Amino acid sequence: MKCDSCQEKATVFYTQVADGKLKKFVLCEACAQAKGITNPEGLLMAEELLGDAPQKTETTELAAFEPQDKCDGCGFTLENFRKVGRLGCPDCYRTFAQEINQRLPTMHKGLSHTGYIPEGLIKQQALRHELSNLTRQLETAVLEENYEEAAKIRDCIEELEKGEKAILS
C-alpha cells in the first residue's frame, strides 16, 4: 500500500470522523512526520493535513449524511432530479444517495440488489474485501509493534493490488 501523499510505502494509518464524514488515509513515515500526524496534538482536520494531496481518502461510506446538490461527475443537480425523476450519470447515485434512498422503498421490493452481477465485479469485490481485511490486520500488527508480521501483510497487499489493477485494466 502506497502513501497518499508521495509514492513511498505507507506505514501510518489514519482515520478521522468529523462532521459526519469518515476519512481514511495512509501515509509513509516521512510524510506523517511532516504533517504532524505522529504528534497527537497535531491531529487536525484531514483537509489541513493533506492539503491538495491526491484524494484517495474514503468518504463514500458516510457520504449520505452530507447532501450535495450537484454531481461532480456530470453537473446534474438535485433540482433536475426532483423535476424529471431521472439521473445524469451513474455517479449521481452516490451524489444524491440520500434523496434516492428515500424514494426507493416506494419503487421496489427491496433496497439491495440480489440478482445477477458481472463475473469481473464479483472477483473485484472479493479482492476489495480481502484488501480491507488485510489493511485492518496490518493496522493491528503495527499497533502491536509486530513489524515482521506487518511486513508480510504489506507484501500480500501489494500482490493483491497488482491483481486488482489487472482486473480493472
Determine, following the binding rule CB under 8 A, whether residue 116 of this chain makes contact with other proteins. yes
Residue 162 touches other proteins, criterion: CB under 8 A: no
Q: What does the buried/exposed string (b/e) look like for 2-25 if buried means 16 or more CB atoms within 10 Å of the residue's CB?
A: bbbbeeeebbbbbebeeeeebbbb
Size of the site for other proteins (CB under 8 A): 32
What would the grid cell of residue 159 be? 500482490
Name the maximum alpha-carbon separation found in the chain.
58
Give the one residue of 7, 41, 107, 148 binding other proteins; rule: CB under 8 A.
Answer: 107
Neighbouring C-beta atoms of residue 102, cutoff 10 Å:
9
Which stretch, 24-32, 103-111, 131-139, 144-152, contacts other proteins (CB under 8 A)? 103-111
Q: At what angle do helices 147-168 and 119-143 cross, to 10 degrees?
A: 160
Nearer to other proteins, 44 or 121 (CB): 121
Closest by Cα among 22, 11, 127 to 65: 22
C-alpha cell at 84: 424529471
Range 4-63, binding other proteins (CB under 8 A):
none
Task: Specify the 3-state DSSP secondary structure of 116.
Answer: coil
State the minimum distance, in angstroms, from the CB of residue 49 to other proteins.
Answer: 29
Residue 100 CB, nearest approach to other proteins (Å):
6
Question: Could you tell me the smallest distance in angstroms from the CB atom of residue 61 to other proteins?
Answer: 11
Kindly list the residues in this chain that would bind other proteins in the complex (CB under 8 A).
73-74, 76, 80, 84-91, 93, 100, 103-104, 107-121, 125
